[in-house]
């Protein structure tokens, strides 16, 4: 047996993936983190044309120029970010972008601030780069929103970066503009990098997404097509900077690891940005109905639940340590909150990326378990 590198031994396989591998396939899955919608037809047709026309060869390392031009326009119009196609890299999902950022900028001993709770890949990527994750509490009394004053308290002379995620996985929290701007200002004053994961930016209810790159040049913005256009399995995303030196370092990781993102998916991504947005609006409207249902039902059961303002997750306070296991036995799959950090203890993540009818059934099952004394 050849010993693995210490950096890989230091991390565990995803608890979420482990759970899904052993769960009942007939159970109602409120654990999955992907839209239950299909890829819009116009995007499918664009990808079919790519294959039919033999447009399946390598692309430039950064991705097709026309796609990067559209991404640049999108950033300017929707986010107030001025960048160039040369400072955009098309990636294999936003996850590759996250890995590129930590590999390119985090050294051994560097501290990286992470919201707690947050998406479990953040800590793993920091550890793989040899960095030191530093937790910043996102409290339930603040609706799990990351606050600038809490970030400021954690900054030291070793702080290299912070990872932001708004709207948030696992809580659905949407950060306030004042906190986004204040953290952007801190990145200039204290000279650290912001890695802004904005993959859920379009799945938002009655709020507006604010990008820190509008206020600071010390930002790498991550985004993609998985959540907004239900293109999860196609693995297509992008990142952008406003600093060509940052872009060069990021490209080194991408170039020697991936070469280029999937050609066919890039053609689909171009159509996603330039084509009609009706299906996105329908999807967000449906998610909001489901959010209202699941929050109402959980609160009625006595599980305190913040009215999530984005993404497709709720994070109710559930102190029964056997809840996830017992719910799974009864046919409802959820995820223990502690998988997302210590502040997830006594919470459970539930995804409403399932049909309205299935969510109603799942809530009926949980309510029945309460009435029968299971919880």
Predicted pLDDT of residue 371: 85
Rounded to two decimals, the pTM is 0.95
Q: Give burial (CB, 10 Å; 0-12/13-18/19+) of 149.
A: exposed
CATH 3.90.1150.10 domain locations along the chain: 6-39+278-371
Predicted pLDDT of residue 20: 64
- Bridge partners, 120 (sequence order): none
Q: Which CATH class is domain 41-274?
A: alpha beta
Predicted pLDDT of residue 22: 57
Q: Is the pLDDT of residue 89 over 80?
A: yes
In order of 29, 220, 263, 316, 324, the CA distances from 25 in angstroms are 9, 38, 33, 24, 16
Task: Choose which CATH entry (3.30.300.130, 3.40.440.10, 3.90.1150.10, 3.30.465.10) describes domain 6-39+278-371.
Answer: 3.90.1150.10
Give the Cα separation of 19 and 21 in Å (integer): 5
Residues 212-235, mean pLDDT to the nearest whole number: 98
- 3-state secondary structure at position 163: strand
Q: Give me the numbers of helices (H) and strands (E) for the chain, helices first please.
A: 13, 12
Residues 265-288, mean pLDDT to the nearest whole number: 98
Q: Is the pLDDT of residue 24 over 80?
A: no
Predicted pLDDT of residue 18: 66
Predicted pLDDT of residue 23: 67
Q: Which residue has the higher pLDDT, 17 or 111?
A: 111
Share of the chain above pLDDT 70, in %: 98
CATH 3.40.640.10 domain locations along the chain: 41-274
Q: Is the pLDDT of residue 111 over 70?
A: yes
The pLDDT tens digits of the residues spanning 328-339 come to: 999 999 999 999
Q: Is the pLDDT of residue 19 over 70?
A: no
């Amino acid at each position: 047996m050849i010993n693995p590198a210490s950096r890989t031994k230091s991390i565990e396989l995803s608890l979420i993936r482990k759970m899904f591998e052993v769960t009942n396939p007939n159970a109602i899955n409120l654990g999955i983190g992907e839209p239950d919608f299909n890829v819009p037809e116009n995007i499918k047709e664009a990808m079919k044309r790519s294959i039919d026309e033999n447009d399946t060869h390598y692309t430039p390392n950064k991705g097709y120029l026309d796609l990067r031009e559209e991404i640049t326009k999108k950033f300017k119009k929707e986010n107030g970010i001025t960048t160039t196609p040369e400072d955009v890299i098309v990636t294999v999902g936003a996850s590759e972008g996250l890995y590129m950022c930590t590999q390119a900028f985090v050294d051994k001993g560097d501290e990286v601030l992470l919201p707690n709770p947050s998406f479990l890949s953040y800590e793993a990527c920091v550890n793989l780069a040899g960095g030191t994750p530093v937790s910043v509490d996102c409290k339930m009394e603040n609706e799990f929103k990351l606050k600038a004053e809490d970030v400021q308290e954690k900054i030291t002379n070793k702080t290299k970066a912070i990872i932001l995620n708004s709207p948030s996985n696992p809580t659905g929290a949407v950060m306030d503009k004042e906190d986004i701007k204040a953290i952007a200002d801190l990145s200039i004053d204290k000279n650290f990098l912001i890695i802004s994961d904005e993959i859920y930016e379009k799945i938002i209810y009655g709020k507006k997404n604010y990008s820190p790159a509008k206020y600071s040049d010390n930002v790498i913005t991550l985004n993609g097509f998985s959540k907004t256009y239900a293109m999860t399995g196609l693995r297509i995303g992008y990142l952008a900077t406003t600093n060509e030196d940052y872009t060069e370092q990021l490209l080194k990781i991408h170039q020697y690891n991936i070469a280029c993102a999937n050609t066919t998916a890039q053609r689909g991504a171009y159509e996603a940005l330039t084509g009609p947005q009706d299906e996105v609006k329908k999807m967000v409207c449906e998610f909001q109905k489901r959010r209202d249902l699941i929050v109402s039902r959980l609160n009625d059961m006595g599980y305190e639940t913040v009215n999530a303002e984005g993404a497709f997750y709720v994070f109710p306070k559930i102190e029964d340590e056997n809840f996830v296991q017992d719910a799974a036995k009864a046919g409802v799959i959820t995820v223990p909150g502690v998988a997302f950090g210590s502040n997830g203890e006594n919470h459970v993540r539930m995804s409403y990326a399932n049909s309205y009818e299935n969510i109603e059934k799942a809530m009926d099952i949980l309510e029945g378990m309460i009435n029968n004394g299971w919880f």
